[in-house]
Amino acid sequence: MSRGRSERRRPRARSNQGRSLAGQEYEVEVGPVAHGGHCVARHDGRVLFVRHALPGETVVARVTDGGEKSRFLRADAVRVVTPSAHRVDDGCPFAGPGRCGGCDWQHTTAAHQRDLKTDVVREQLRRLAGYEWTGQVERLPGDDDGAGWRTRVEFSLTRDRRLGLLAHRSHDVVAVDPCRIADPRIADVGLYGERFEPGVTSVDVTATTRGEVVAVELPLRDDEVEPVVVEDVTAAGETHSFRVDARGFWQVHPGAAPTFVTHVLAQLAAQQGEHVLDLYCGVGLFAGFLADAVGAEHVIGIEGDEAAVDHARDNVPGATFIAGDVAEQLRYLDAPTDLVVLDPPRTGAGREVVEQILQRGPRAVAYVACDPAALGRDLGYAAEFGYTVRSVRGFDAFPMTHHVETIAILEPADVVH
């Protein structure tokens, strides 16, 4: 699950790239899709990562970043010479070179996007984990054309103080009215037409499963408390309600939470009395349903966000929730472990967490990943510690973007089926 809001990264030191090539245009043949929302092309032996292109096309690529000494260049396809049969021209009017950077694939169909994401997941798992995945990235329930799914949107403000989104790799704000992938209820309540007061720098909007639309103007005033919303999830014949901060972490596609919970429950087949660790547990989504199966007293969740842990304690009475760094808390946690749900941020769990989990000898681990490269790396670590991949499923939880959710089920390598 994506936790992009909480990820803070230091800017990388830029090496001497020589004379800038930004603005240079090259006609190139577009090669395979690459992880990150672009395709690979080459010009005079140099790699170009080209956005707004599709494999097999011939395009004119304009360099947006890089110089004569750069290992690779970033570029936008500003003219299509030979289009792919999968290209569409009726996508979002706000997408394209130099425009809104929220989406990567508005220029092709939702079905073809899933094919591209399948290629990315397959390549990452093969390269990083040596695992040959033969599956296909799947459409989530309720999603037909990739539009109107995003129930949580972080808007910036344009110069005239209306809702907008950032351009790709830029602080420039592009007006969007409406955003094609955003929940249509945001338009229904008139937020796109609103002109926000001076002092408001951004607006985070949540459209809940209960029909509410909550807009949080940032920064919050000293006397303001972030609102809390309630999300309902039905899976495996049960419905649970979860309190979560309006800007807190929650799956943004309405089909994601029930689909992921249903799959994880079926694959883990938890039995009454088994002991479960729910790591990076958020407000207790998986813990709530697993508590039904094993008994709440047998569920322990660990999460770094203290506010989320407070909600988890309310959402799943009887379970134990610990606030803190997962790797650090695992070092001091002395508890039997039969099953693990692992749902880390985009950077993945990492070697230390994977090792600590698997040294406990769980009979199965469900790894919910929002980055196939991080998943592939961590599956490689799991193999070192004697665990193998039983299955992998990919889900298109973020249509029109390059992001993809993947759930891997791990088990000890000596298990015989």
Residue spans of the domains in the chain: they are 4-87, 113-142+229-412, 152-226
pLDDT of residue 416: 66
The 10s digit of each residue's pLDDT in 241-282 is 999 999 999 999 999 999 999 999 999 999 999 999 999 999
A 10 A CB-CB count for 168 gives: 22
Asked if 97 and 62 touch (Cβ cutoff 8 Å), the reply is yes
**What DSSP state is assigned to residue 210?**
T
Per-residue pLDDT, averaged over 176-184, amounts to 97
CB neighbour burial string for 30-69, b if at least 16 within 10 angstroms, e if fewer:
bbebbbebbbbbebeeebbbbbbbbbbbbbebbbbebbee
In this predicted model, what pLDDT tens digit does every residue of 140-165 receive, in sequence order?
998 989 999 999 999 999 999 999 99
Q: Residue 201 above 70 pLDDT? A: yes
Of the residues 92, 100, 103, 370, which is catalytic? 370
Stretch 202-226: mean pLDDT, rounded? 96
Domains 4-87 and 113-142+229-412 share a fold: no
What pLDDT sits at residue 11?
47
Q: Write out the H or E segment, with its range, that includes residue 124.
A: helix 110-129
pTM as predicted: 0.94
| 40: its two tokens | 């690979």
Q: What is the DSSP string of 98-116?
A: TSB-S-S-TTB-HHHHHHH
pLDDT tier at 8, thresholds 50, 70, 90: very low
Determine if residue 343 is labeled as part of a ligand binding site. Answer: yes
Alpha helices in 189-345 (DSSP H): 256-268, 285-294, 306-315, 326-332
Alpha carbon 407 to chain centroid, angstroms: 12
On whether 106 is known to bind a ligand per the annotation, the reply is: no
Phi-psi region of 190 (alpha: psi -120 to 50; beta: other; left: phi over 0): left
Position 17 confidence tier, pLDDT thresholds 50, 70, 90: confident
Q: Is 92 a catalytic residue?
A: no
Supply the pLDDT for residue 7: 39
Query: At 6, is the pLDDT very low, low, confident or very high (cuts 50, 70, 90)?
Result: very low
Q: Is 222 annotated as a binding residue?
A: no
What is the residue-averaged pLDDT of the chain? 95
Pick the CATH number of 113-142+229-412 from 3.40.50.150, 3.40.50.300, 3.40.50.720, 3.60.20.10: 3.40.50.150
Which residue has tokens 């959402």? 315
CA distance 215 to 213: 7
Domain spanning 4-87, CATH architecture: Beta Barrel (2.40)
What DSSP designation does 145 have?
Answer: S
Q: Say if residue 26 carries a ligand binding annotation.
A: no
The whole-number pLDDT of residue 15 equals: 59
What is the per-residue pLDDT across 361-374, written as a single tens digit (0 to 9) for each?
A: 999 999 999 999 99
